[in-house]
Structures are given as C-alpha cells and as structure tokens.
Structure 1
Amino acid sequence: MINTIIFDLGAVLIDWNPDYMYRSIFADEQEMRHFLTNVATSDWNEEQDAGRSLQDGTEWLVAKHPHHEENIRAFYGRWIEMLGDAFEGTVEIFKELRESGKYKIYALTNWSAETFPMAQQKFDFLNWFDGVVVSGEEKMRKPAPEFYQILLDRYNVNPAESLFIDDNYRNILAAEKMGINCIHFTTSDKLKEELLAIDIL
C-alpha cells in the first residue's frame, strides 16, 4: 500500500530550460545548440548539482573554453532567466494528493544548492513538501543509490510503500533497483491517468 509520494522537480513540476536565457544571447539556433551540447553541457551542470560550487564550475569551464567566457558566465549569472513556469497540471495533482491527507510527499531533486533558493522564491508549492532532498546540499545526485537512501533514511520511508515520479528514465531504473515503485513522467495528463489506474488519486 502506497503511503509516500516522491516527486522529481525539474521537467515534472517546474519548467527549466537554458534555451530560455540563451535565445537572448545567440541569434543563431545552431550556434546555441553547439554551445549547450559542447561547452555548457548537461554533464557540466550536473557537477554543480552534485555539490561543486557555481564559482568553481564556472572558472573550470572558462579555463577550458576561454573564447566562450562571456557566454559561460551568463549560465549562472542569468540562471533565473532559465526558469519557466510551473507545470500547472502536475501542481494540481500534487495539491490533490496533499489535500487528501493520505500521503507523505517529498521531493528528491538534482539541483544546485545555490540556485535552489531562487526556485523556492518563485514557486510557493516548493514549501508544501513534507521534506526536500537537494543533491547540491548532499554532495551527490541521482541516479546514485546513496542519494535515494538519504531520503528513505531521513524520513523513515519504506521503499515498497513509496512511489517515485521522475522524467529521467535513468533515475527511474535506479529507484526500481532499490525496490521503489515508479512512474516515468511524460505529461501531467498521463501521470493523472496512471495515478487513477492504481487508486492513488
């Protein structure tokens, strides 16, 4: 019986995309794609999610790509411009689950400890959780089993009685190996269908 719901945040509840900011810098879409694929990569950003400071991450990348310095410094200098809107359909599901009183609801997110407070200021629902585990604060990230274990231990969660919702299939596979029930998130409507099918909603 499920008594705990664990949400990922980015691309599930919150729309975050570097394109939003970099489109104001790059006039050419192909140049922007090249920069985000080969310079300010998702792997590089994930190191900050895993606890490396924004300053250290920025200086490391500038040293590697000095001719891109201005655009690299914009990544965290203008990071707030990468935050889009909330996915209202998922927020409504979250609200319904919370108001039912049947579940403890947590967030397990790969997010820099330095940028997460900016998201908290923008999105009030980030204060609704019974607990939030942020990778940048813990110095580890999904899909490391130890990161999931922090949440399970901290909040005394039984994996078999929990349900994890994440858009990244890599993270889903890691959670399933730990005995956590999972839903691979694609859209809010599909999530609602799947939760109704298992009597969670």
Structure 2
Amino acid sequence: MNIENIIFDLGGVLIDWNPRYLYRKIFSSEEEMEHFLKHIATSEWNAEQDAGRSLKEGTEWLVQRFPPYKEAIEAYYGRWEEMLGGEIKATVNIFYRLKAMRTYRLYALTNWSAETFIIARQRFSFLQDFDGIVVSGEEKTRKPFLEIYQRLAQRFQILPERSLFIDDVPENIDGAQQAGFHTLLFISPEALEQELKAIGILKG
C-alpha cells in the first residue's frame, strides 16, 4: 500500500461532539432526551444543515413540524457550542505524530454545517495544521455521496488509490471505498494506532 495522503473525519474521530451534552441540561430524563433526538431533532435533520441548508431554515422547518418542542429545537443551534466536548486528545496525538514524520499530506473531510464550523475553527487550533479541509456545508453536499470525495481529490490533486480515509461512520467508509480510497473504520484512538502500525504507516 503506497500511501501519500491521510484524510481524517473530524466529529467522533478528532473532536468529541454529542448533542446529549446539551440536552441533558434541557430534559429531565434520559428517556425524554432520547425521544427528542430519535424522533424530532434527528441525525437525518441535522445532516441537511451539514449539506448546506441554513441553520435558520432548518430550525424554522422543524419548529413548524413540532411546535411544542420550539424551545428545545431552537437550542440545538442556539446553544450548539455546548455540544462540543473537546478534542479527542489521543487521536490528535496520532495526527501530530504523522505530521512530524513529514511523509504524508494530511487532510480533513467533514460533514459539518458551514455556520457552526466557524466555531470549531476558533476552538480547535489543530485544525490550522491540516494541509486542507473540505467542509460539507460549504460544498452543499456531504458524505457518503460520491461527489464530495471527488471534490477532495480534485481540489488537492490527490490520487484516491494513494490515500487513506479514516471515519467512524460505516456509510462514509463505503462512500470512500466507492471513490477509490483505502479506508480504516475508526473505533478508538488505540485501535487506530494499532491499525496504522499494522499497515506500516506508524512505527512502533
């Protein structure tokens, strides 16, 4: 495997993001919170904002469908920063070990609203150290659709067959494979380190 580029997902891999950090403050029980996140402010709804729909439009659309949850829905982006748990330090350490090797170009491909990614850029200094980042909300398309992987390759002139893509979502891994990338499904920083060693990218 002749790898020249390593592409990281961000949320769940390098950045700890979870809406439950916020909604445990809003709902009085886990059951209420899980119902809200499973049936109202769903991951599918959030994905539309990741794909370029404005936060205002997405919020108004959901409030119209579920008026009794207006306050909780508006908190999703109004208090979005409270969903950030910090960087996943062990994975960030792996990122900097790879960067120090000066062997690979390092990129990020993330499903993220363009409007909230501004906050992430301000909070997480390591984002400045990528060779390039593709943000779905800026592209108006998202993983696992083929187009966003192709844009990454074209924009930074990288060959998918010489690139390794790391993501914690199986569907996104499938999309990357269809685009011709080598892939690793992220389970934990410890597992990632072992897998990178096994394929000769990291040394022992």
Q: Distance in 1 between matches of 2:148 and 2:160?
A: 13
Q: Distance in 2 between matches of 1:85 and 1:153?
A: 31
Question: Residue 117 of structure 1 corresponds to which residue in structure 2?
Answer: 118
The Cα shift of 1:120 comes to 1.0
The Cα shift of 1:25 comes to 0.6
Question: Residue 98 of structure 1 corresponds to which residue in structure 2?
Answer: 99
Deviations 1:27-47 (A, max 9, x none): 111001001101000000000
Q: Confirm whether residue 39 of structure 1 aligns to residue 36 of structure 2.
A: no
What are the residue-to-residue correspondences of 1:40-189 with 2, within 5 Å?
40-189=41-190
The Cα shift of 1:179 comes to 1.4
The Cα shift of 1:85 comes to 1.5
Structure 2: any 5+ residue segments left out of the alignment? none
TM-score by length of 1: 0.99
Q: Confirm whether residue 10 of structure 1 aligns to residue 2 of structure 2.
A: no
Q: Distance in 2 between matches of 1:174 and 1:35?
A: 29
> Between Structure 1 and Structure 2, how many residues are aligned?
201
The Cα shift of 1:54 comes to 0.1
The two structures, once aligned, show a CA RMSD in angstroms of 0.5
Q: Alignment partner of 2:184: what SS?
A: strand
The Cα shift of 1:177 comes to 1.4
**Matching residue's letter, 2:13:** V
Deviations 1:107-130 (A, max 9, x none): 000000000010111110011100
Q: Alignment partner of 2:133: what SS?
A: strand
Question: Residue 30 of structure 1 corresponds to which residue in structure 2?
Answer: 31
Structure 1: any 5+ residue segments left out of the alignment? none
Q: Distance in 1 between matches of 2:152 and 2:179?
A: 12
Q: Confirm whether residue 20 of structure 1 aligns to residue 21 of structure 2.
A: yes
The Cα shift of 1:16 comes to 0.2
Q: Which runs of 4 or more aligned residues in structure 1 lie more than 6 Å from their structure 2 counterparts after TM superposition?
A: none
Question: Residue 191 of structure 2 corresponds to which residue in structure 1?
Answer: 190
Q: Distance in 2 between matches of 1:129 and 1:16?
A: 19
Q: Distance in 2 between matches of 1:174 and 1:197?
A: 23
